[in-house]
Chain A
Amino acid sequence: MQTEEPDDAPPLVKAFLRPGPEPARRDTDAFARSVMARVRRECPAEAAGPWYAAGPRWLVPALSLGLAAVAVMAVLLPVSELSATESLLMSDGEPTHLVPVLARSEQSAVDSMLAMALWED
Chain B
Amino acid sequence: MVEWPGVTSSTGSGEQALVARILAGEQEAYAQLVRKHHPGIFGLCAAMLGGRTQAEDAAQEVFLKAYKALPRFQGQASFHTWLYRIASNHCLDLLRQGLRRPAASWDELLQTQGDAVHRLLAARPDEQLRQEDADLVHRALACLPADYRLVLTLRELQGFSYEDIARAMDCSLDSVKARLRRARAELESRLRHFLSAEIV
Give the interface of A toward B (CB within 8 A): 1-3, 5-6, 9-10, 12-23, 25, 28-29, 31-36, 38-40, 42-43, 45-46, 48
A36–B36 alpha-carbon span in the complex (Å): 14
The 27 listed contacts between A and B (C-beta, < 8 Å) are A6-B162, A9-B155, A9-B184, A12-B192, A12-B195, A13-B156, A15-B121, A15-B125, A16-B121, A16-B191, A18-B129, A19-B129, A19-B157, A19-B159, A20-B131, A21-B129, A23-B38, A23-B42, A31-B42, A31-B59, A32-B34, A35-B30, A38-B60, A39-B30, A40-B27, A42-B64, A43-B67
Is B72 positioned at the interface, with any CB of A under 8 Å from its CB? no
Is B99 positioned at the interface, with any CB of A under 8 Å from its CB? no
For A32, what are the chain B residues with a Cβ–Cβ distance below 8 Å? 31, 34-35, 38
Name which residue of chain B comes closest to A22, CB basis.
Answer: B39
Interface contact B187-A13, CB-CB below 8 Å: yes
For B195, what are the chain A residues with a Cβ–Cβ distance below 8 Å? 12
Is B163 positioned at the interface, with any CB of A under 8 Å from its CB? yes
Is B180 positioned at the interface, with any CB of A under 8 Å from its CB? yes
**B152 → chain A closest CB, angstroms:** 6
For B123, what are the chain A residues with a Cβ–Cβ distance below 8 Å? 15
Interface contact B38-A31, CB-CB below 8 Å: yes
Interface contact A12-B130, CB-CB below 8 Å: no
Name which residue of chain A comes closest to B64, CB basis.
Answer: A38
For A28, what are the chain B residues with a Cβ–Cβ distance below 8 Å? 35, 38-39
For B162, what are the chain A residues with a Cβ–Cβ distance below 8 Å? 3, 5-6
Name which residue of chain B comes closest to A47, CB basis.
Answer: B25
Is B94 positioned at the interface, with any CB of A under 8 Å from its CB? no
For A48, what are the chain B residues with a Cβ–Cβ distance below 8 Å? 25
A-contacting residues, B132-166, CB 8 Å: 133-135, 137-138, 140-141, 152, 155-159, 161-163
A35–B121 alpha-carbon span in the complex (Å): 36
Is B2 positioned at the interface, with any CB of A under 8 Å from its CB? yes
For B93, what are the chain A residues with a Cβ–Cβ distance below 8 Å? none
A13–B148 alpha-carbon span in the complex (Å): 13
Q: A20-B131, A34-B60, A35-B34 are in contact. Are A13 and B184 (CB under 8 A)?
A: yes
